[in-house]
Chain A
Amino acid sequence: MPTLTVDDIKVEVPDGTTILQAARQAGSKVPSLCYLEDVQTIGACRVCLVEVQGAKALVASCAAPVAEGMVVKTNSTLARKGRQTVVELLLSEHDGNCQTCARSADCELRTLARDLGIDEIRYEGERTTKSIDDSTPALVRDSGKCIMCRRCVTVCNETQGVGALFPQGRGFTTVIGPAFASDLSDVTCVQCGQCAAVCPVGAITERDQIDTVWAALDDPDKHVIVQTAPAIRAALGEGFDFEPGTVVTGKMVSALRRLGFDGVFDTNFAADLTIIEEGTELLTRLKAALVDGRDVALPMFTSCSPGWINYMEHYNPDFLPNLSSCKSPQQMFGAVAKSYYAEQLGKRPEDIFVVSVMPCTAKKFEAQRPEMVHDGVPDVDVVLTTRELVRMIKQAGIDFASLPDDTQDKPLGLSTGAADIFANTGGVMEAALRTVYEIVTGKPFPFENLHVAPIAGLEGVKEASVLIEGTVPEWSFLEGVTVKVAVAHTLGNAQKVIDAVKSGEKQLHFIEVMTCPGGCIGGGGQPRLTTNAVREARIAAIYAEDEGRELRKSHENPAVVELYSKYLGDANGDKAHHLLHTDYAEKERV
């Protein structure tokens, strides 16, 4: 436990603490930029510089470990001037059209400049070359705004193991981007948007599709409905200055209605549907393996997360059969909306315009995949991220904070607590187990408060085993079987699980993968900046939402039950398969 002095205050900190952490502990709010707690400490941006007695130059506090007896000045003239110079230099290369930038409201560079008291840029000169990469459906990169903090590089390479973005070139012509100045669409970008989630400025953002939605809403011939993903309600409020972890479902529904949607529904409905389809698929595979001795692909992976699907297609094509063939809840919702719901309304599928609000940028990609478009009609027409919805509400001049609570329309707005927890890591697995266990045993799910503790939380890879006992006759072949499941979030962690399965180190039946850290609540389309503290707050909110529900198991959702009985027939049956399932193909790895 070294003791050091920060701005004349003595602090004792654990070994391995950085100067930045120690300073913050001492009440000195040292600014930082490239630093991402637990993710990136590379000392690159030089914004967190402090003066350390005896050092020949200023020290990047985020990356420097403390030492016994160290004397640190975070507020010396030299430290302040150093930081100011660094930020001035960043501003001098940055395409700073703040007024028209998507990040104007939450730009970290702009905030820094203001906080550091920069009132002029003394060193004007050439600016970073501007080139716009809007090659993907999900993301737009604007190199002119990039300040090369490398947050995106670290999340893309280390968190996700994708490596679509990295620094190239030297000197002032250094750029961050895909190899050989390619576009994102030319490389194995999975479009998860984690880069956009961590970008401190407007250099990487979601592709803005608000205008398309406005146009649809203005079109009298279109019946425009909206679905909102489970993770939205615990994050949307942050766009209106609510604390992270504030659930704003009711206000969100009111806002969507005011925006003019003809139906305000819930992806949660489709999440419940997914559990029925995916649970049935799992049981079918288990039966085929255990009873028929057929060579089916196990373990089975969830397929809700489109970034994960992209990743598998590029990086693990040999495991594609292991992916559940279920479409994601977003796509299931769209498919049902343009068939069952359309029929109920007496409309043609093309007259229904489905808007999704997702925490995710990869959903934008998913919605336009050829597999998701039938006879020219996509299941989902436009995907907005949480951030876009915030902007849309602001554009409409809606006073979000003062909106009354409202509830979603039926039937596609009905859902259970199991659907809520699709928002966070471990949630899909828990929801599936709640249903599968009860189907197989006919007994109530035996976990306290229905939560499977070992698969909750922000640990990268989590595992649980569920012993099946007292099965109903139909599923008696599972009697005494210990179902082994694993949960991974981030693609880096997912790859670790795959490697362990490949090597035989792990024998598993069912694996949940969510692309983003913390699951969808930490998605690439969520309000910035998502730290672990924010993730935990959002997850807590989601669990609370689940726990407050009357119905908490997907198979208890009456609307879903009715959908099967009135329209789909059997789970995994022909019609269900036609509407709700898909398949995957190997993609080139670049």
Chain B
Amino acid sequence: MEQFRSHVLVCTGGGCIASGALAVSAAFTEELQKQGLTDEVQVVETGCLGPCAVGPVALVYPDGVFYQNIKVPDVAEIVEEHLLKGRVVPRLVSHAPGTEKTVAEMRDVEFFNRQVKIVLRNSGLIDPLRIEDYVARDGYAALVKALTEMTPEQIVDEVLASGLRGRGGAGFPTGLKWRFAQQQSSDVKYILCNADEGDPGAFMDRSVLEGDPHSVIEGMAVGAYAIGAHQGYVYVRAEYPLAVERLQYAIDQAREYGLLGDDIAGSGFAFDLEIRMGSGAFVCGEETALMTSIEGNRGEPRPRPPFPAVKGLWDKPSVLNNVETYANINPIILKGAEWFAATGTEKSKGTKVFALGGNITHAGLVEVPIGMQLGEIINEIGGGVPGDKALKAVQLGGPSGGCVPYWHLDTPVDYESLQELGAIMGSGGLVIMDEDSCMVDMARFFLEFTQDESCGKCPPCRVGTKRMLEIVERICNGQGEEGDIERLQELGRMISQTALCGLGQTAPNPVLSMIRHFRHEWEAHIRDKHCEAGVCATMFKARCTNACPADVDVPGFVSLVGEKRFDEALRLHRERNPLASICGRVCFHPCESKCQRAGLDAPVAIRGVKRFMTEQETDILLPEVVLDEANAARKVAVVGSGPAGLSCAYFLARLGYKPTIFEAASTPGGMLVQAIPAYRLPREELGREISMIEKMGVTIECNKALGRDFTLQGLRDQGYEAVFLGVGAPQGSNIGVPGEDGEGVTEALSFLKTYNVDGTVAVGKRVAVIGGGNSAIDAARTALRLGARQVTILYRRTRAQMPAWAEEIDAAEEERIILQPLVAPVEIKHDAQGKLLGVICRPMTLGDYDSSGRRRPVAGRNADFLVECDQVIAAIGQWLDSESLFDGVSVETSRKGWLATDKNGRTSVDWIFAGGDAVTGPSSVVAAIGAGEKAAVAIDEKLTGANHAFWRRDVEVDTAFDPDADPVETPRAGVPVVAANVRVGGFDEVELSWAAETAVAEARRCLRCDYGKDRCAETEVNR
């Protein structure tokens, strides 16, 4: 045999071929010839290696270096550098997650190093067209062992003892199935392989057939011997031409080598195998339908019992397993049941192959021990959800399966655990869904699939899933009705009970599981006609607007800015959100995260456009106000002058009311002024919009604290007919460690408030901020500006897990604030004199996934250490001391102590309304604005009996738009900022203004998703 010093294994699985692997392989051959290396280096075209998303890929042995994203022009470099000079080409290898560090060897790549390959033991390493390669890796040794050393009973015993369960999805013990068939007395029996993989996004079986076809043939031959079958069929869909071609080639080779045929390996045992191609009907994955199809009839299921083991193909005892199940047989026979059972969980042994698809970084094929946590498969192996999006749920088992929400990422992936959550192991399709996926829409997708694929034989499946689909479609179209959820559940349960075959019985699963885990989303679709993910397009005008809690007409004002109609743009904005200038600076812009333009290059910088727009306002423009004497005479109180209170008062004023705002602090603005530092929100901007509201007839009385200076009952007694509570979440939480009551320890909110309101606050030289939220960042940056020499943020999770706004974290780092993630404070250390020494920190490491979908920080192995400092600022949460507010009036609160309201701000007391952080817990400015508007409408409704929210009617914006024109090729405009070293010197605004042309060009990047969509007026009023 020729000896090569090196091998280049080029993946020629279907995925890599699609991305050009054959050309890459040819280029290697050519380049090696050119370099005269053909005697030294061999190119091998292998099956799938797994990481399809980065194909074409290749492995260079003996070094084990894994190259990805190889283009033909890269080949010469790999040959020259690696194969001639022995130097890895760093450009083409993978990187450690989140870093620039290259990881060259396959065994170090995170995608690979957590996997355990039993089924895919050969895939990617051997040439599937060479039986010699397979034999060299113990191929057919199991068959020979079975035929020469084992009785059929022993084989079944071994398979039974291994705990192998059917990998097609149902997880029936393979050995038991074999035993049933073995016990049937019949001259003719059949062994069948289900390779009719049909789940959307699943390609496990295809890859095995393409990469290691002999492993399936061998498994079937062993099975045939065990049950006494002499003929086998592999049922594979015609859409898998490469799999069919390679399998047929392998069957022919095996026959040639006497491993199939009349006298296998001289044992006298006869077995042969044929491929039967189906035309890709999903229902043919159902075993009885598959057999009907092999028999030459329309692939439709028949009732069971009789079970195939008794009466299967052509009414003969038959065993049907799927590709992956058979691929497990060789190692089980060769290495023994005990070896196999060592992998996996108590009830589920071995490994499982999954096809990762959907919103996942490393889409591809992986094999993991059964029982691995779902989060590990998705985040560590799969690289998590790409971009800044959050994971929402994972669909397992395709259209027959169910979803697992992000708060169950700690679920061990095994048959029982998944079933408990309403999902199934399935055949291995793992579709990852991020926050932009609408669960109602996903349910619709899967239901549509099963309805399309239903064979139509039984009414529950044919008609029942159609009726379910109609209901779900109605919900997606904004026509959902109360009772729809219950109707779906009832019908779903009945379909599961009454359908003829597995397809029908499991068809309702996606809907049922998505209702189970995401009921709130279904309710929002039905009751509020709102699709949070921004998918169900009939319910909104544009995704940005849909994402805005205040429902600002984003394409409207942006396009007006694009036409330099700044006043009109601002007026339109303030139809729904009075605090345009404030939001132009501090809004977390959920609109931008849903911007369609992101799919093209980057989202429109909506906040930037907004800020520019407000900068063009010279005299305050007052909005349309309805004069109404009756309303003006009605007394309405607003408690708190934060964004919720200001917004509520603003909209009440637009309806002719003259509400009074009571503010506890000496300055109006609530958190806007108390917590948000001036370098983010200049005080004059805040003042401008507050004075606009005052001009509309709103009175603001400062230094009036609820519970201190007045009571709710007192307001009532003074004739106030309604009260809106926008009191925020003003209390900072305790850390809960020893020493926090000592000297030098403060709490972020009071620290910020003291400075922002009083103009001065004590600041240490070395400051440690504990927490990872926005308050932590604000406190850290404020401390820095007030003279701290070193500011360290201590956070118990990772940087990526920090809840603070990413732009703020970046800015803090630019300002040389030290981020110290994965540490938990265990004690605030003071010396004997009570002088603060620092924070004793415990290094944390990431443990299991928790209900937030993130790995839980747990104590690491390293010893505690002291972070020296002379001031500790705790920023670990906020709460509301509601008891101190209410004097005799009992307003219901939530479990966490927030005020309980309906979506329109109505509390349990009919004259008391609430909104903002006091209801939701710490949230965004724009959410508070939206809540204030809703409460204003509810108050008006309570006082007048009708909804007068005239600003909610659809306003047509007459800006020009050519739907046929190509989008303008303008990159997203960045926000100019003051250099970090300059800005830390004071509280001047960090962000700078745009030039007019920048703003106009940016505005014109809008793709105008709203174009041609007339929002349903009725829907609007309901919102």
Contacts and interface: CB of A to CB of B under 8 A. Distances in A.
A310 B463 CA distance: 36
Interface stretch (A164-172, A297-305, A426-434): A164-172
A424 B532 CA distance: 71
A82 interface: yes
A435 to B, nearest CB: 46
A44 B458 contact: yes
Interface string B457-476: 11110111111001000000
Contacts of B387: none
B497 A126 contact: no
Interface in A43-71: 43-46, 49, 57-60, 63-65, 67
B457 A44 contact: yes
B305 A65 contact: yes
Contacts of B457: 42, 44, 148, 150, 167
A116 B141 CA distance: 61
A82 B298 contact: no
Contacts of B460: 46, 85-86, 89
Residue of B298, B460, B465 ringed by the most chain A CB atoms within 10 A = B460
B456 A174 contact: yes
Contact of A42 (B303, B466, B470): B303
A567 interface: no
Given A85-B494, A89-B460, A44 B298 contact: no
Residue of B298, B499, B500 ringed by the most chain A CB atoms within 10 A = B500
Interface in A140-181: 147-148, 150, 166-167, 169-174
A509 B363 CA distance: 73
B303 A43 contact: yes
A64 B465 CA distance: 24
Contact of B456 (A86, A123, A170): A170
A78 interface: yes
A148 B459 CA distance: 8
Nearest to B282: A170
Contact of B281 (A81, A89, A170): A170
Contacts of A86: 459-460, 498
Nearest to B450: A171
A90 B487 contact: no
Nearest to A173: B456
B463 A93 contact: yes
Given A43-B500, A57-B497, A57-B505, A170 B458 contact: no
B500 A44 contact: yes
Nearest to A60: B303
B453 interface: yes
Interface residues of B, number: 33
A46 B458 CA distance: 7
A65 B306 contact: yes
Nearest to A168: B298
What is the interface residue range for chain A against chain B?
35 or more
B487 A122 contact: yes
A92 interface: yes
A125 B472 CA distance: 12
B451 interface: yes
Given A57-B505, A171-B451, A171-B453, A89 B302 contact: no
Nearest to A85: B494
Interface string A275-307: 000000000000000000000000000000000
Contact of A123 (B298, B453, B458, B467): B467
Interface string B440-455: 0000000000011111
Contacts of B625: none
A147 B460 CA distance: 12
Residue of A43, A90, A93 ringed by the most chain B CB atoms within 10 A = A43
Contacts of A42: 302-303, 457
B463 A90 contact: yes
A148 B505 contact: no
A89 B451 CA distance: 14
Given A60-B303, A65-B306, A85-B494, A171 B462 contact: yes
A82 B458 CA distance: 13
Contact of B496 (A57, A59, A89, A166): A57
A60 B494 contact: no
Given A89-B464, A170-B454, A78 B298 contact: no
A92 B303 contact: no
A60 B497 contact: no
A169 B494 contact: no
B848 to A, nearest CB: 32
Contacts of B298: 166-167
B491 interface: yes
A179 to B, nearest CB: 12
A291 to B, nearest CB: 49
B456 A58 contact: no
Given A46-B498, A89-B464, A123-B467, A170 B459 contact: no
B494 A167 contact: no
Nearest to B453: A170
B458 A174 contact: no
Contacts of B458: 43-46
Contacts of A64: 303, 305
A90 B460 CA distance: 9
B497 A171 contact: no
B456 A82 contact: no
Contact of A167 (B456, B466, B470, B487): B456
Given A46-B459, A92-B463, A123-B467, A78 B497 contact: yes
A82 B298 CA distance: 27
Interface in B288-308: 298, 300, 302-303, 305-306
A65 B491 CA distance: 28
A172 B447 CA distance: 12
Contacts of A150: 457
Residue of A65, A67, A86 ringed by the most chain B CB atoms within 10 A = A86
B305 A148 contact: no
A49 B302 CA distance: 15
Nearest to B494: A85
Contacts of A89: 459-460, 463-464, 467
Nearest to A61: B303
A63 B303 contact: yes
Interface in A16-50: 42-46, 49
Contacts of B302: 42-43, 63
A43 B460 CA distance: 12
Nearest to A125: B470
B498 A126 contact: no
A64 B505 CA distance: 17
A167 B300 CA distance: 10
Interface string B621-651: 0000000000000000000000000000000
B498 A49 contact: yes
A65 B311 CA distance: 12
A45 B457 CA distance: 7
B918 to A, nearest CB: 43
Contact of B459 (A65, A90, A171): A90
A125 B467 contact: yes
Contact of B498 (A58, A123, A172, A174): A58
A92 B467 contact: yes
A126 B470 contact: yes
A125 B459 contact: no
B598 to A, nearest CB: 35
16 contacts: A43-B458, A46-B460, A57-B499, A57-B505, A60-B500, A64-B303, A65-B305, A81-B494, A82-B497, A85-B460, A85-B494, A123-B491, A166-B298, A167-B456, A172-B456, A172-B462
Sorted nearest first, the 5 A-B pairs with minimum C-beta distance are A174-B456, A43-B303, A89-B463, A123-B467, A172-B466
Given A44-B500, A122-B487, 14 more contacts: A42-B302, A42-B457, A45-B459, A46-B498, A46-B499, A64-B305, A82-B498, A85-B494, A89-B464, A170-B453, A170-B455, A171-B452, A172-B454, A173-B456
Interface of A: 42-46, 49, 57-60, 63-65, 67, 78, 81-82, 85-86, 89-90, 92-93, 122-123, 125-126, 147-148, 150, 166-167, 169-174
